């Protein structure tokens, strides 16, 4: 099976042969079709899931039936590393395949052995869970203290900062974006309409253009 795992942060700084040696005893790769549930919310997480191809969505469902799309994970990456060694290792989100996706389960005891015997892997894992923890804290702060407009403006501004381009395509549908920000689709559409009417952005379908970077930055901060 062809792998491109050297791009996974867990294996940063490792050669293909080092990665293959680590995973030589890991078998049972599973394939999921689009919308298949890989891990249910509340399910015990007893193995580390390594995504070798495809992508998944992590969604948190609330008791009233509403949901928050927490994030998307694209191969190569690992699922829910922060809860693998938790005292109560139950998934806080439902993880579904965004497209046809392949996952390699690694038993917790086997992964523990790997960490104990490979310092590079251990450091990468600690850095990875630290980064993901920081991401989740920032996301929860955003939900708690920012308005819908703040969050959407910040999202667009972050894409600009990361890509360096004022024109870009957002692959997510409006419904997926609405789920990400835990708002209704009409509320999302209204904010995009306001930003457009104010001359801050223009949009056509999934194509967005930032017309005034400074105003967008201020909208993200206010």
What are the φ and ψ backbone dihedral angles of 181, each rounded to 5 degrees?
Answer: -95, 5
Domain shared by 180 and 92, yes or no:
no
pTM here is 0.66
Domain count, the chain: 2
Q: Sorting pLDDT into bands at 50, 70 and 90, what band is 2?
A: very low
* 44-97 pLDDT, tens digit each: 999 999 999 999 999 888 776 777 788 889 999 999 899 999 999 999 899 999
Better pLDDT: 187 or 208: 208
Which of 53, 48, 51, 52 lies closest to 114 in space, CA to CA? 48
Query: Domain with 138 in it: what CATH number?
Result: 2.60.120.10
- Out of 97, 113, 144, a domain closes at 144
Domain shared by 152 and 139, yes or no:
no
Domain shared by 66 and 37, yes or no:
yes
DSSP string for 76-105? SEEE-GGGTTSSS-B-SSEEEESSSEEEEE
In this prediction, what percent of the chain has a pLDDT beyond 70? Answer: 93
pLDDT for 3 equals 64
Domain shared by 168 and 203, yes or no:
yes
Taking residues 98-124, report their average pLDDT.
Answer: 96
Domain shared by 127 and 40, yes or no:
yes
Q: Sorting pLDDT into bands at 50, 70 and 90, what band is 133?
A: confident
């Amino acid at each position: 099976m062809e792998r491109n795992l050297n791009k996974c942060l867990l294996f940063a700084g490792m050669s293909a042969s080092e990665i293959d040696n680590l995973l030589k005893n890991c078998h049972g790769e599973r394939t999921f079709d689009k919308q298949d549930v890989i891990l249910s919310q509340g399910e015990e997480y007893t193995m580390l899931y390594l995504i070798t191809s495809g992508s998944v969505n992590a969604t948190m469902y609330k008791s009233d039936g509403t949901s928050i799309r927490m994030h998307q994970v694209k191969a190569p990456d690992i699922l829910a590393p922060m809860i693998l060694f938790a005292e109560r290792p139950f998934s806080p989100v439902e993880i579904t395949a965004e497209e046809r996706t392949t996952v390699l389960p690694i038993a917790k005891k086997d992964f523990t052995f790997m960490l104990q015997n490979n310092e590079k892997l251990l450091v990468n894992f600690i850095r990875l869970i630290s980064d993901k923890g920081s991401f989740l804290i920032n996301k929860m702060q955003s939900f708690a203290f920012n308005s819908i407009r703040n969050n959407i403006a910040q999202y667009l501004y972050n894409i600009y900062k990361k890509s360096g381009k004022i024109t870009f395509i957002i692959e997510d549908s409006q419904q997926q974006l609405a789920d990400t920000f835990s708002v209704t689709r009409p509320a999302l559409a209204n904010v995009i309409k306001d930003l457009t009417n104010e001359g801050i952005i223009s949009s056509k379908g999934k194509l967005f253009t930032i017309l005034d970077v400074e105003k967008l930055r201020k909208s993200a901060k206010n």
